[in-house]
């Protein structure tokens, strides 16, 4: 026996009409949450746009008075002197020098820590070491800078006597930066390596591989996208560091990669000039924004290259 719905559709007698398959209309609370999330996304975009615009406008004004070729292709950097010179290469080299020494210190040590935590450490040791590493990542950089000039430099003078003749050195600042970014590389790389499927390890052990070979030839290549991401993130952090280089590297603009050479980095110049007595609206003050724009461009290029590398080497596991 059949009954009919109000719309004329037959159904077995005694059964309830089927509910509509259409999604229910969103409630007021859901609409409010959706609007709040959209507002947060819009605010982040507007903030980024505002940062770019605030850098670009004074930079355009700066290049209206300074030849871009003189800025990018020369190394005579004395924007606060008379006559002023604006060859930015010397502080770019200073920035790359401290970053290079920091990465040479941090990358091998950070990866070694990650391999130990992922492949060798017992659960008990891991529970102790991993939180300590993450706490080290939160140490204020001014404290690391003070450590560099009071303890690290005297210690390194025992092995590099040339450091005794200079109060500042790019290498000392670089090692201090390396101490700062090592936890970043170690923590992120460890997470990436632990996410590698256990079946790959078991297959390698089944073929007679040692634990070190499994770690370096199976797990590390499989986690290469996360490892690259950690290194690039650490590199960006090193390039943008201010307090350590301000305290340990000095403020002498020299285009040298020597370990014992004092250098001035881009961030150190911005910090010292912005907090000085330079009048706003002058060509010297606009130099801050020109250097900031170049620093922003350098980190942007690094991040874009990192994304391309990660996409190229990423392996997807079912």
Say which DSSP state 10 is in: E
| Residue 99 near residue 174 (C-beta atoms within 8 A) | yes
Residue 285 is predicted with a pLDDT of: 86
DSSP 5: -
Average pLDDT over residues 161-169: 89
130 is a domain residue: yes
| Highest-pLDDT range among 17-31, 57-71, 174-188 | 174-188
Q: What is the CATH classification number for the domain harbouring 256? A: 1.10.3720.10
Q: Is residue 267 scored above 70 in pLDDT?
A: yes
pLDDT of residue 301: 87
Write out the residue range of the structural domain in which residue 97 sits.
Answer: 90-272
Q: Residue 29: which pLDDT band, with cuts at 50, 70 and 90? A: confident
What is the structure's pLDDT at 153? 93
What pTM value is reported for the model? 0.82
According to the model, what pLDDT value does residue 144 have?
A: 93
Contact predicate 266/291, CB 8 Å: yes
Q: Determine the average pLDDT of the residues in 119-143.
A: 89
* pLDDT tens by residue, 226-250: 898 899 989 999 998 989 999 999 8
User: Each residue of 96-108: pLDDT tens digit?
Assistant: 999 999 999 999 9
Q: What is the structure's pLDDT at 208? A: 84
Assigned domain for 10 exists:
no
Asked if 163 and 219 count as a contact pair (C-beta separation under 8 A), the reply is: no
Q: For residue 10, what are the β-bridge partners?
A: 4
**Cis-peptide into 83, omega within 30 deg:** yes
Please tell me the total count of domains within the chain. 1
Percent of the chain residues past pLDDT 90, beyond the cut: 36
Residue 138, domain member (yes or no): yes
Q: Which pLDDT score, from 0 to 100, does residue 181 have?
A: 94
Q: Is residue 119 part of a domain?
A: yes
pLDDT score, position 108: 95
């Amino acid at each position: 026996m059949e009954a009919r719905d109000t719309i004329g559709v037959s159904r077995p007698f005694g059964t309830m009409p089927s509910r509509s398959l259409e999604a229910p209309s969103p409630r007021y609370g859901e609409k409010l949450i959706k609007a709040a999330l959209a507002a947060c996304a819009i605010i982040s975009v507007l903030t980024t746009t505002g940062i770019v615009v605030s850098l670009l406008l004074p930079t355009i004004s700066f290049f209206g008075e300074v030849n871009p070729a003189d800025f990018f292709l020369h190394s005579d950097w004395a924007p606060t002197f008379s006559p002023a010179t604006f060859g930015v290469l010397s502080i770019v080299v200073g920035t790359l020098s401290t970053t290079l020494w920091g990465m040479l210190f941090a990358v091998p040590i950070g990866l070694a820590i990650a391999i130990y935590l992922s492949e060798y450490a017992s659960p008990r040791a891991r529970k102790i070491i991993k939180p300590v590493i993450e706490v080290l990542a939160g140490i204020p950089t001014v404290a690391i800078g003070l450590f560099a000039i009071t303890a690290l430099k005297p210690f390194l003078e025992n092995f590099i006597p040339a450091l005794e003749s200079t109060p500042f050195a790019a290498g000392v600042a670089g090692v201090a930066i390396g101490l700062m970014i090592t936890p970043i590389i170690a923590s992120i790389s460890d997470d990436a390596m632990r996410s590698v499927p256990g079946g790959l390890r078991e297959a390698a052990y089944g073929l007679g591989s040692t634990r070190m070979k499994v770690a370096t030839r199976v797990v590390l290549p499989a986690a290469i996208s996360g490892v690259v991401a950690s290194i690039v993130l650490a590199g960006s952090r090193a390039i943008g560091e201010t307090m350590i280089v301000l305290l340990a590297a000095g403020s002498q603009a020299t285009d040298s990669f020597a370990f014992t050479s004092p250098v001035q980095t881009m961030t150190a110049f911005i910090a010292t000039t912005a907090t000085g007595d330079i009048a706003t609206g002058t060509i010297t003050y606009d130099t801050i924004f020109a250097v900031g724009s170049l620093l922003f461009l350098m980190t942007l290029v690094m991040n874009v290259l990192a994304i391309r590398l990660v996409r190229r080497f990423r392996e997807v596991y079912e």
